Amino acid sequence: MQQHRILIVEDSPTMRQLLVFALKRIKGAELIEAQDGMDGLRKVTSDHFDLALVDINMPVMDGLKLISLIRVEESLKEMPIVVITTEGAKEDRERALSLGADEYLTKPIQANRVLSVAKSMLKIE
Amino acid sequence: MSREKKEVFGRAEEFVALFSRGAEFTKQLLQENERLRGRLSTVEDRQNYAAQDNLEWEKLREELLARITGLENEKQGVMDRLRAVEEENRQFAGRYLEIEEENNNLANLYVASYQLHSTLDLSEVLKTIIEIVINLIGAEVFAVYVLDENTNQLSPVASEGKALPAFPRVPLGSGVVGESVASGETACGEALPSDDLARPIVCIPLRIEERPIGAIAIFKLLAQKDTFAPLDHELFALLAGHAATSIFAAQLYGQSERKLNTIQGFIDLLTK
């Protein structure tokens, strides 16, 4: 069975648990949690991930900074990034996408939507 | 025997087995051919015979028509069954989506309940309530009120979207928040933002049975959320009970910790 390593970068334990619940349904998914941008950066640069789900408003380092740092790394340029945030304004979406995010989802999240976006990013039918 | 010879004999045995299977298959084909020839000959004989006799021809024709009718009925039956199966599939697909949604809703409720009861620290409980209201309900401006039983006043203890002092204290039984807490009824209006901090669009009373504990008052939803979903009402009901229990348990735990420290202080004073 194919393994899919997914990094969840989110400061809220409630959201992390909810995302784990949703993504656990992907066969072969290995879910790793990071509690802020800095923790996420440490994890993403020290290990291989097939997908990263990133919140924007986080302490220590926010999601936008994390995305821009990830996209600077040559080895991480192709890793899909999905932003999950409360920021629903068009300019926030455009900013995240211009920095290198592949998909932008707003809270409150629908587990089905997260699952289908993650599957599409991982190229799972 | 040398290894080469063994290999040659082995190959020869494989060929023999292969030819035997081939011969058996050919024999079966010949038998089937013979049987079909016999069947064809019978049908031809019957047709030839019938062609010479009008009565027999009519009988054969009727038999064939009856067979066609039978096949058409059978086809109709199969088509009906197919339609029934397709309808059943549609119903199953609909039911699957319903169950999927129910499953997701239950996951949300489970996570909310799990997080609320995962700590006895009041500030952590309030943080969890804020996370649930932002992430699961999708509120932008709201406050959590706790009842002071001595003064019967509801005071804001945590907020999001506006600073805590902006939210007014509310007497129990007065205004939207006070009335909601006193009656135990969730007040839920239109999902339009309210600038009046005395008139929330949603007020969830936090109570343990008949005992009022506090309230969650929501004044504005996130821009992308324009209506309340059925799950929101389930979350309101969950928060009404579970957030109240969590706050109450954390308050009791905090009080008992303080009392324990005081008693310990006295014991230390007496024994040292």
Over chain B (272 residues), the average pLDDT of each successive run of 10 is 78 88 94 94 85 83 92 95 96 92 88 92 94 93 94 94 93 92 90 86 93 94 90 91 93 89 87 80
Best residue of A14, A16, A53, A55 to probe chain B, by most B CBs closer than 10 Å: A14
| Distance (Å) from the alpha carbon of B125 to chain A's nearest alpha carbon | 12
Considering only CB atoms, A112 lies closest to which of B100, B115, B223, namely: B100
How big is the A-B interface in CB pairs under 8 Å?
Answer: 58
| Distance (Å) from the alpha carbon of B8 to chain A's nearest alpha carbon | 43
Q: What is the largest CA-CA distance in chain A?
A: 40
By CB atoms closer than 10 A (0-12, 13-18, 19+), residue A26 is middle
- For chain B, the distance separating the N- and C-terminal CA atoms, rounded to the nearest angstrom, is 100
What pLDDT is recorded for position B57?
82
- A35 closest CA partner among A49, A15, A18: A15
The DSSP result for B56-115, as a single string, is HHHHHHHHHHHHHHHHHHHHHHHHHHHHHHHHHHHHHHHHHHHHHHHHHHHHHHHHHHHH
- Segment A98-117 mean pLDDT: 93
Angle at alpha carbon of residue B181, lines to B118 and B253, rounded to 5°: 30
Best residue of A18, A104, A106 to probe chain B, by most B CBs closer than 10 Å: A18
Residue of B nearest to A106 (CA): B224
Q: What is the pLDDT of residues A74-101, one digit of tens each?
A: 999 999 999 999 998 899 999 999 999 9
SS3 B269: helix
Q: Do B135 and A86 touch (CB under 8 A)?
A: yes
What's the number of CA atoms in the CB half-sphere (13 Å) around residue B18?
Answer: 6
- A37 closest CA partner among A94, A102, A83: A83
Considering only CB atoms, B112 lies closest to which of A14, A107, A110, namely: A14
On whether any CB of chain A is under 8 Å from the CB of B136, the answer is yes
SS3 A9: strand
The fold adopted by the segment(s) B117-259 is: Beta-Lactamase (3.30.450)
Q: ipTM of this model?
A: 0.88
On whether any CB of chain B is under 8 Å from the CB of A59, the answer is no
What pLDDT is recorded for position B102?
87
Euclidean distance between CA atoms A38 and A31, whole angstroms? 18
What pLDDT is recorded for position B1?
60
Main-chain phi, psi angles of B14, to 5 degrees = -60, -45
Q: What is the pLDDT of residues A31-57, one digit of tens each?
A: 999 999 999 999 999 999 999 999 999
The DSSP result for A24-76, as a single string, is TTSTTEEEEEESSHHHHHHHHHHS--SEEEE-SS-SSS-HHHHHHHHHHSGGG
Domains, chain A: 4-120 (3.40.50.2300)
pTM: 0.76
Residue of A nearest to B125 (CA): A14
List of residues 6+ apart from B160 with CB closer than 8 A: B130, B133, B134, B139, B140, B141, B142, B143
Residue of A nearest to B128 (CA): A14
What's the number of CA atoms in the CB half-sphere (13 Å) around residue B196?
Answer: 9
Q: Chain B neighbours among A 62-81 (CB < 8 Å)?
A: none
Cβ neighbours of B131 in A, within 8 Å: 12-15
